Chain A
Amino acid sequence: MTEVPKIVHDRLRAARPERALPEHPDANLLTAFAEQALSVTEREGVLAHLALCGDCRDVIALALPAADIVAAPMAAEGEAVRATAAPARAEINRLTARRFAWPSLRWAALAAGIAVVASVLLLRPGKLNQALPPSAKPQVATTAQPASGPQIASSAAASPPTDQSAVLAKTEEPQAKFALRPSKKIRAGQMVTPSHQAEHGTLLAENKAENKKDSGPAAMLSPAPTTGGRASAAPASPGATETVEVSSAAVAVEVAPSAEDSLMARNETPAIEKAKPAPPEMKVNEQQQTQAAFVVLTPAGSQGGNAMPTAKPAAPPSPTSARNITWTIAAGALQRSLDSGQSWQNALRADHPLLCYASHENDVWTGGQAGTLFHSADSGVTWVQVQPSIKGQQLSSDITHIDVRGPAEIAVFTNNHEIWRSADGGKTWDKK
């Protein structure tokens, strides 16, 4: 770090606040400053005061929230990050550094290379059907032309006989030589298409590397011609975007970690898809596939009719869980930042505007108008819509505040002053 001459320190210190701004901004303005809620003029005024007033700078620093940051920041853009005193943080930095160390990258690159070669060989037109097992043949087909943008591959979820649940999964796919069943994707009531095209080689390598390593949900989500990938694929037809939907009542969104990484790296908005009733003939196949794949849906406790799905990703924790994730609500959407607020991306947008969020380690809950409530157990990689209900009565008021006190303990506050509590991660609820 370049130093400045000491006399500059002295002149900085010599500029006493009494000379310029006799009164301190009140706690409201300092809070709004810290939360970026001030107008430009106000912010300039507060900053001018803070530049002179060490006491207010101390207040701002002490009042920084502790919970928002779940892990250490990345050393982005190749720049050395100054070490902090916190040992836990140093440990996380060390682990992060180790994760991206050369031996790991070497194996990842090798795996990616193998995956690229394998996918090119297996996905050639005319070869694909031969490579597929008979049960999966109708579900994958090649397209005549490349897709116009990054493609969304989806996987269906199991739907227990007594329940109607849905899981949608998506992963980003390079300009594809094949496509899955096209269907309508819904995000906040509109079609979702990733904003720009994926780069073929990079994305493919990323996806395949992740799939190789995890052999879990990511692998299952990938449309690569592995068993899981094929199993998760829906009947094919040409198209640019694809989703697979099963079930009717609830919504769950699953994003493959590899795709998540790709999206986040490009600052795209991950698509959120909503479940739609699936054709009955698809349900059977997809149920089998998904049970083997990545998501298990459970009915909502004892309230049989009111299904409340909870997704349990079978994958190991997402890579994003070890990163610096900051959350905020903006324009009715939940946004997250992986770089301490330098850039923001929409993490979740629902049909109704989101109003609040709460996070506890990897658990993130967000709520909004008309009882909209989503939960992610993996720092926003996958989302499950939760519909709190008790004795047939559903939460339908605006959710204005969420309090997460542990991995499974949550309290939801509404604008009509109801308090809904769950001690089991949203499976059963108690209303006050």
Chain B
Amino acid sequence: MAKSAQSGRGVDAATALYERSGAAAYGMSAEQFANVLDEIVRKYFNLAPNRAPSSISDSAHVSAEQKADFCAALRLEELALARACALGNERAWQDFISRYRQKLHSMALHITRDGAHAAELADSLFADLYGVNARDGVRSSKLVSYTGRGSLEGWLRTVMAQEFINRYRKQKRTVSLEEQTEEGVQFAAATPEPACTSDGLSGRRLEAAIDEALAELSAEDRFTLASYYLDGRTLAEIARMLRLHESSVSRRLDRLATGLRKRILAGLRAQGMSHAQATEALETDVRDMELNLRSRLTQDSGAATFPGSRKVPAQNAGDGSNDQQKP
């Protein structure tokens, strides 16, 4: 009895979600839409045989309430639109085009900062979304992979950014020697070796102390450090990524730098180094860093990895082993 009441509530909830999504107007049946939701739930709750890379829970036991809450939080209307487009519904495509066609070009321009490349990128993505490329004779639209976790517009921006990075890599791999000469790549210094990493026992101790100090940081702190020090992102960019104020990011970075230094020194002392030795190791490294930064800045002028980035090209350019996965 209780079970039937529960299933009745489940049907009601599914109907409500279906109505909220407006999928009927795109010719999607309630069953089709329920299947889409089920597929998404399976993906994010790790219920499918092939587990998603990052999911809500590793537990296979997910309550109906959890699923209902999860589904209710999805962008149902945009999900219905995307999936109906993927199914080839003409009306859905009309809606999609009227909503996003122009925005795709704006997004591409924002990402590439170049009109010609922007048009190419936007058209290419649009073709992928439309499903020009057939797989096994079946037209496959990229919109199938949209799950409604974020806005459709945000998802389009993310997919476009991934595509841009992949293209950039491919382009970098195929750049001619003449172009490399023009860019001055042949004069670029080799990627500097990590300093103080293998200088005998003290180097290993230093590495261990740093790794330990970094491991103690939260994921968000490590993300902040990597964005600022490795990627060269501005405070404003990091703030927007984390939805914080710039001053908060600035304070956090100061706190992290100071805290890291203290922890590393403490770690080194715990490993038997004197305070003077530990400080000397770090200070020596700071001097290395200053020289290194100067040389890197000289090499890096006008050759940022991506628009708005001050990352050193040698870190990723030309390295195709880590291409972004397409969704």
Residues of A within 8 A of B (CB): 1-15, 17-18, 21, 23-32, 34-39, 41-42, 44-52, 54-66, 69, 73, 75-77, 79-82, 84-85, 339-342, 400-401, 403, 405, 411, 413, 415-417, 419
B254 with A2: CB separation less than 8 A? yes
Residue B126 at the chain A interface, CB threshold 8 Å: no
When distances are taken between beta carbons in the complex, the residues of chain B under 8 Å from A35 are 150-151, 154
Minimum CB–CB distance from B291 to chain A (whole Å) comes to 10
When distances are taken between beta carbons in the complex, the residues of chain A under 8 Å from B20 are 415
B161 with A6: CB separation less than 8 A? no
Minimum CB–CB distance from B225 to chain A (whole Å) comes to 6
When distances are taken between beta carbons in the complex, the residues of chain A under 8 Å from B257 are 1-4
What 0/1 readout, one digit per residue, does chain B (91-128) give for beta carbons within 8 Å of chain A? 10001001100110010001100000000000000000
Residue B32 at the chain A interface, CB threshold 8 Å: no
Residue B137 at the chain A interface, CB threshold 8 Å: no
B56 with A7: CB separation less than 8 A? no
What 0/1 readout, one digit per residue, does chain B (1-29) give for beta carbons within 8 Å of chain A? 00000000000000000001010011000
Q: Return the 10 tightest CB-CB contacts between A and B, nearest first.
A: A31-B150, A6-B289, A341-B243, A51-B222, A23-B53, A62-B161, A2-B257, A47-B219, A10-B194, A342-B245
Minimum CB–CB distance from B55 to chain A (whole Å) comes to 7
Q: List 24 A-B contacts (CB under 8 A).
A: A2-B258, A4-B256, A4-B260, A7-B194, A10-B194, A11-B207, A14-B194, A23-B53, A23-B325, A25-B53, A28-B147, A29-B149, A42-B56, A47-B222, A48-B222, A51-B226, A54-B231, A61-B306, A73-B246, A75-B247, A339-B245, A342-B244, A401-B77, A415-B22
B223 with A84: CB separation less than 8 A? no
Minimum CB–CB distance from B241 to chain A (whole Å) comes to 6
A31 with B154: CB separation less than 8 A? yes
Residue B35 at the chain A interface, CB threshold 8 Å: no
Minimum CB–CB distance from A410 to chain B (whole Å) comes to 13
B235 with A64: CB separation less than 8 A? no
Q: Given B103, B165, B234, B258, which contacts A84 in the complex, CB threshold below 8 Å?
A: B234
Q: How far is the CA of A84 from the CA of B249 in the complex (A)?
A: 14
When distances are taken between beta carbons in the complex, the residues of chain B under 8 Å from A41 are 56-57
Within 8 A of A (CB), among B288-327: 288-289, 292, 305-309, 311, 315-316, 322-325, 327
A82 with B151: CB separation less than 8 A? no
Q: How far is the CA of A50 from the CA of B207 in the complex (A)?
A: 22
When distances are taken between beta carbons in the complex, the residues of chain B under 8 Å from A419 are 95, 98
Q: How far is the CA of A55 from the CA of B151 in the complex (A)?
A: 21
B247 with A81: CB separation less than 8 A? yes
When distances are taken between beta carbons in the complex, the residues of chain A under 8 Å from B110 are 66
Minimum CB–CB distance from B115 to chain A (whole Å) comes to 15
Q: Given A13, A31, A76, A339, which contacts B151 in the complex, CB threshold below 8 Å?
A: A31
When distances are taken between beta carbons in the complex, the residues of chain A under 8 Å from B289 are 3, 5-6, 9
Residue among B99, B162, B239, B247 with most chain A CB within 10 A: B247
A8 with B223: CB separation less than 8 A? no
Minimum CB–CB distance from A339 to chain B (whole Å) comes to 5
Residue among A41, A51, A69 with most chain B CB within 10 A: A51
Residue B233 at the chain A interface, CB threshold 8 Å: yes
When distances are taken between beta carbons in the complex, the residues of chain B under 8 Å from A7 are 194-197, 206-207, 210, 282, 285
When distances are taken between beta carbons in the complex, the residues of chain A under 8 Å from B254 are 1-2
When distances are taken between beta carbons in the complex, the residues of chain B under 8 Å from A32 are 149-150
A37 with B73: CB separation less than 8 A? yes
Q: How far is the CA of A3 from the CA of B257 in the complex (A)?
A: 6
Q: Given B206, B245, B286, which contacts A340 in the complex, CB threshold below 8 Å?
A: B245
Residue B236 at the chain A interface, CB threshold 8 Å: yes
Indicate whether A341 sits within 8 Å of B240 (C-beta atoms), given known contacts A10-B194, A56-B324, A59-B158. Answer: yes
